[in-house]
Amino acid sequence: MADPTGQSVLMLLASKDFRDEEYIQPRQEFEQAGARVTVASSTTREVTGMLGMKVTPDVLLDDVDPGQFAAVVFVGGLGSTEYFHCPAAHRLAQSAASTGKPVGAICFAPVILANAGLLDGKAATCYPSQAANLKKKGARYTGKLVERDGNLVTGDGALAAQQFGKTLVELMTSPDT
């Protein structure tokens, strides 16, 4: 996909306590590149970030068709732990990754990818307190702010949010994607 203009990106938010910057900064990067953003969650009621941002999801996680999206992003924050052992979140990540689509996860959320079996043998990063969870699932934890391995992009946390978004946009615009 050489141009993200008009492409859709799915961002999965926790039902509470997502990290505001890890949502808004990548979203801004996607929108500036011309992509449309759809927000999914385990609820369609208004969700609140750790810093108070309010977002109303567009679709339930259980109703997401991964084929409709050019990229899938798992937003971090303390609340993202609700998806650590969530089969629907794992299927979403696996489906997108298996078709070569960019899949991103930041902060605590890379644990979702690890638990879905996507990080085994892959270079990845996350919020440092979650590094052991990645390593247990075979990831090569790098501790970098942002790490890309193939079509997978992981980020450390809020300080990495903008670079994380830019890296995903670069991946979306790569002719190999």
pLDDT band at 2 (very low <50, low <70, confident <90, very high): low
- Provide the pLDDT for residue 102: 97
What is the residue-averaged pLDDT of the chain? 96
The Cα–Cα gap between 37 and 6 comes to 10
Residues for the chain: how many in total?
177
Instruction: For residue range 70-84, list pLDDT tens digits in order.
Output: 999 999 999 999 999
DSSP for 142-156, written as a single string: ---SEEEETTEEEE-
Is the predicted pLDDT of residue 7 greater than 50, yes or no?
Answer: yes
The Cα–Cα gap between 161 and 22 comes to 5
Stretch among 2-16, 25-39, 87-101 having the lowest mean pLDDT: 2-16
- Provide the pLDDT for residue 6: 80
pLDDT band at 1 (very low <50, low <70, confident <90, very high): very low
Whether residue 74 contacts residue 106, with contact meaning beta carbons closer than 8 Å, is answered with yes
The Cα–Cα gap between 119 and 167 comes to 18
Is the predicted pLDDT of residue 177 greater than 70, yes or no?
Answer: no
Instruction: For residue range 115-140, list pLDDT tens digits in order.
Output: 999 999 999 999 999 999 999 999 99
pTM summary value: 0.96
Fold of 8-173: Rossmann fold (3.40.50)
Which residue carries 């050019």 as its tokens? 70
